[in-house]
């Protein structure tokens, strides 16, 4: 591991707090040091309280902030004298510690201080860094990990036996260092937990962390032959057909049912994950516990193991084991958590991460990606020996960690949280608005469009832009498989892609115009339904919303190619509603009109349509009963509603979105 410190960047920091944030972000930039909110840092300085009195203050990372992105506002200012007084107490409950720390803050609007604030205060250096470095924790998670660490670091690093984080850990370190010469110490390793470094300068504390971690990485270098970055990105183990992907969708559905809500499933079928999942010894080892105890709130105590083609039974077995574990280790006052797995080892195929959102599934996937090589290396050094079962249970049911998770979910789940949607024609107009609305309502979205720019328009943990021509059957099949491989299944399909031919009378209609309209506006959607239906049948409250046209109900002259194709698409939707109702899949149609912020309404098309009605363009645009223009965003909101619980008892319906038309009414 190399230092990322840049003196020129550090010199631009106006004060200690800005420098503290800068150095913290350097740590956060290394996923092998901290992941998704892990780790904490601090700096000691002097500040004035609300009455203008100068006092010594610990600025410590606040709860809810991530080291990768932390700013000065992410540090909680806590009075040092109060923290040191807490360290002298014989006992202090978690809830009492949190209250006491908040009462000692100089800024009542700052975030809650880290649970390690007392320990940071005890360390007699201005700058303190704490990470959960993979390499250091991996060495500690071996049968003779303490010996290995002592031999590696000598007397310069204090080795602390595992103790529950928070007040208990601070008291343990205080006991171990009462007579210690801190000037001879450069760091502390907390067994099964992480590493602390400290110094009187930000740079020295940071670079001590880098040196200690680099030494651990070098010690691990020969422990297990790595698969390698090039192999990691190969498609080794990739499901080669629909059968495996349908099994993935079944697994996702079974996990969601156990959790009581839809989930996103992230499949890692790269070479490293597949090699791990093909090794029964490694799979068994991974079930002994997590890389570091704080991961348990994200990934639970162990992965589910899917050894055959019965994911429902595997989920049931995992849940049963969770219930038995709670009965064995739980006590009065504890409420059992849900028993759904957070990740799975899929024998021979890789690893699967589950989450109530694409972001949550991504967090789990990141933790798993760091866990697998750690388990492999530890097994090569004598065995994977993480913290014990009871200690892991205590962290999983720790009131402070549960409160943190409750705060993260306190806003309530979005309407489509955990669902997976696929939208065609998503690069512009109604399709883009639909994809954005579904994404805003919590869905993971696969956005398809013939325009290759869709890949840049939709990207991120919850979005996958896929260039796709729906007139190409192979391309449609590949896009649907890509969606399922990326998100684990499919719940919502918005059939929107379409073309609007130039106005032409029937007697003037050329074969190419007619054929293209039928191919794009009708046959392409038939292909889409053929590929998506097997996955929709395995989805959560599955729904199809077809963007048809007001022309179906009230056609106009010169639009035969468009009107006939959309009418046939509507008929296809009605048949699909009949066929898919027994599987619980709803199919409904929207008939928009007067939606002029879409790609099909070019100036030329608009002028031609207005002329065919003998109207000026502005009058044509407002020719509906309400005299309004319907926006693509309004259509998208209705699409989202039709895919949600509000329309849970509706299928085969046709709803106009046209401002009112006397020929439709």
CATH number at residue 246: 3.40.225
* Domain finish residue from 168, 186, 220: 220
The C-alpha angle 91, 93, 99, rounded to 5 degrees, equals 120
CB neighbour burial string for 83-106, b if at least 16 within 10 angstroms, e if fewer: beebbeeeebebeebbebbeebbb
Identify the pLDDT of residue 228. Answer: 42
Identify the pLDDT of residue 188. Answer: 97
pLDDT exceeds 80 at position 232: no
Contact 349, 277 (CB under 8 A): yes
Question: What's the pLDDT tens digit per position in 437-479?
Answer: 999 999 999 999 999 999 999 999 999 999 999 999 999 999 9
Identify the pLDDT of residue 401. Answer: 67
pLDDT exceeds 70 at position 20: yes
Which has more confidence, 448 or 398? 448
When divided into structural domains, the chain yields a total of 3
Within this chain, do residues 651 and 503 fall inside the same structural domain, yes or no? yes
pLDDT exceeds 60 at position 638: yes
Question: What's the pLDDT tens digit per position in 287-311?
Answer: 999 999 999 999 999 999 999 889 9
pLDDT exceeds 70 at position 613: yes
Q: Which domain holds residue 96?
A: 7-220
pLDDT exceeds 90 at position 64: no
Neighbours of 581 (CB within 10 A): 13
Closest CA to 416 of 581, 251, 539: 539
Identify the pLDDT of residue 227. Answer: 47
Within this chain, do residues 165 and 245 fall inside the same structural domain, yes or no? no
Of these residues, 153, 397, 535, 562, which one is catalytic? 562
Within this chain, do residues 403 and 297 fall inside the same structural domain, yes or no? yes
Neighbours of 633 (CB within 10 A): 15
- Distance, in Å, from the CA atom of 43 to the CA atom of 405, rounded to the nearest integer, reads 27
Q: What percent of the chain has pLDDT above 70?
A: 95
pLDDT class for 610, splitting at 50, 70, 90? Answer: confident
Within this chain, do residues 260 and 203 fall inside the same structural domain, yes or no? no
In the predicted model, what is the mean pLDDT of the chain? 92
Within this chain, do residues 325 and 387 fall inside the same structural domain, yes or no? yes
Question: What are the structure tokens assigned to 184, written together?
Answer: 């001879």
Within this chain, do residues 235 and 198 fall inside the same structural domain, yes or no? no
Identify the pLDDT of residue 236. Answer: 45
Identify the pLDDT of residue 594. Answer: 82
Identify the pLDDT of residue 37. Answer: 85
Q: What is residue 110's DSSP assignment?
A: S
- Distance, in Å, from the CA atom of 233 to the CA atom of 607, rounded to the nearest integer, reads 51
The C-alpha angle 363, 219, 210, rounded to 5 degrees, equals 60
Sign of CA dihedral 618, 624, 626, 632: negative
Identify the pLDDT of residue 405. Answer: 60
| Mean pLDDT, residues 208-222 | 94
pLDDT class for 406, splitting at 50, 70, 90? Answer: low
- Distance, in Å, from the CA atom of 393 to the CA atom of 119, rounded to the nearest integer, reads 23
Residue 564, domain CATH:
3.40.50.720
Least-confidence region, from 203-212, 222-231, 554-563, 634-643: 222-231
Closest CA to 125 of 10, 192, 209: 209
Identify the pLDDT of residue 239. Answer: 53
pLDDT exceeds 60 at position 505: yes
Q: What percent of the chain has pLDDT above 90?
A: 82
User: Does the active-site annotation cover 153?
Assistant: no
Identify the pLDDT of residue 402. Answer: 66
DSSP letters for 413-479 = --TTTT-EEEEESTTSHHHHHHHHHHHHTT-EEEEEESSTTHHHHSEETTEEEEE--TT-HHHHHHH
Within this chain, do residues 215 and 278 fall inside the same structural domain, yes or no? no
- Spatial neighbors of 387 by CB under 8 A, at least 6 apart, are 141, 162, 192, 193, 289, 290, 293
Which three-class secondary structure state does DSSP give residue 564? helix
Question: What's the pLDDT tens digit per position in 170-197?
Answer: 999 999 999 889 999 999 999 999 999 9
Is 325 part of a structural domain of the chain? yes
Report the length, in residues, of the chain: 665
Pairing of strands 194-199, 157-160: unpaired
- Distance, in Å, from the CA atom of 237 to the CA atom of 271, rounded to the nearest integer, reads 7
Is 578 part of a structural domain of the chain? yes
Neighbours of 234 (CB within 10 A): 15
């Amino acid at each position: 591991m190399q230092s990322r410190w840049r003196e020129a960047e550090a010199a631009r920091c106006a004060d200690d707090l800005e420098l503290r944030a800068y150095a913290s972000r350097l740590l956060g930039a290394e996923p092998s040091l901290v992941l998704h909110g892990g780790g904490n840092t601090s700096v000691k300085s002097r500040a004035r309280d609300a009455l203008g009195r100068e006092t010594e203050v610990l600025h410590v990372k606040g709860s809810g902030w991530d080291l990768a992105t932390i700013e000065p506002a992410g540090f909680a200012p806590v009075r040092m004298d109060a923290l040191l007084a807490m360290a002298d107490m014989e006992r202090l409950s978690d809830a009492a510690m949190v209250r006491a720390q908040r009462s000692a803050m100089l800024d009542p609007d700052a975030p809650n201080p880290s649970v390690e604030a007392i320990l940071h205060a005890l360390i007699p250096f201005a700058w303190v860094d704490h990470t959960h470095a993979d390499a250091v924790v991996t060495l500690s998670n071996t049968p003779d990990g303490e010996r290995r660490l002592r031999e590696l670091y000598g007397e310069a690093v204090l080795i602390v036996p595992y103790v529950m984080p928070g007040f208990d850990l601070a008291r343990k370190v205080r006991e171990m260092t009462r007579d210690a010469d801190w000037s001879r110490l450069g760091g502390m390793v907390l067994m099964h937990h992480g590493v602390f470094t400290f110094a009187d300068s930000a740079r020295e504390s940071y670079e001590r962390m880098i040196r200690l971690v680099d030494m651990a990485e070098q010690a691990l270098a020969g422990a297990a032959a790595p698969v390698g970055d090039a192999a990691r990105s190969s498609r080794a183990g990739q499901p080669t057909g629909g059968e495996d992907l349908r099994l993935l969708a079944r697994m996702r559905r079974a996990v969601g049912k156990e959790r009581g809500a839809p989930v996103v499933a992230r499949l890692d079928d790269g070479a490293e994950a597949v090699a791990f999942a093909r090794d029964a010894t490694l799979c068994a080892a991974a079930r002994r516990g997590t890389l570091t105890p704080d991961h348990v709130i994200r990934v639970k105590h162990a992965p589910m193991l899917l050894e055959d083609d019965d994911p429902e039974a595997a989920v049931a077995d995992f849940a049963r084991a969770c219930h038995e574990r709670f009965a064995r280790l739980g006590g009065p006052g504890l409420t059992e958590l849900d028993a759904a797995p957070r990740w799975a080892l899929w024998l021979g195929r890789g690893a699967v991460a589950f989450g109530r959102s694409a972001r949550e599934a991504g967090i789990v996937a990141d933790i798993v990606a760091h866990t697998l090589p750690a388990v492999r290396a530890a097994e090569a050094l004598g065995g994977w020996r993480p913290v014990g079962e009871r200690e892991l249970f205590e962290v999983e049911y720790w009131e402070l960690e549960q409160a943190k998770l409750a705060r993260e979910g306190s806003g309530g789940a979005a309407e489509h949280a955990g669902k997976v949607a696929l939208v065609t024609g998503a690069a512009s107009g109604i399709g883009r608005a639909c994809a954005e609305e579904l994404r805003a309502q919590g869905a993971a979205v696969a956005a398809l469009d013939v325009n290759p720019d869709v890949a840049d328009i939709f990207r991120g943990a919850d979005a996958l832009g896929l260039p796709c021509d729906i007139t190409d059957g192979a391309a449609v099949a590949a896009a649907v498989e890509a969606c399922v491989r990326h998100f684990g299944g499919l719940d919502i399909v918005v059939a929107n892609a379409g073309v609007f031919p130039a106005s032409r009378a029937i007697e003037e209609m050329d074969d190419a115009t007619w054929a293209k309209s039928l191919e794009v506006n009708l046959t392409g959607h038939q292909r889409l339904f053929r590929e998506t239906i097997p996955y929709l049948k395995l989805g959560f409250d599955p729904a199809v919303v077809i963007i048809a046209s007001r022309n179906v109900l009230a056609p106009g002259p010169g639009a035969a190619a468009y009107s006939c194709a959309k009418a046939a698409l509507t008929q296809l939707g009605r048949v699909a509603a009949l066929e898919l109702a027994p599987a619980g899949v709803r199919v409904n149609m929207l008939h928009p009109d007067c939606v002029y912020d879409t790609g099909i309404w070019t100036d030329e098309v608009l002028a031609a349509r207005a002329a065919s009605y003998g109207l000026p363009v502005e009058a044509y645009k407002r020719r509906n009963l309400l005299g309004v223009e319907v926006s693509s965003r309004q259509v998208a909101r209705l699409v989202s509603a039709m895919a949600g619980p509000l329309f849970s008892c509706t299928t085969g319906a046709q709803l106009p979105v046209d401002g009112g038309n006397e020929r439709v009414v």
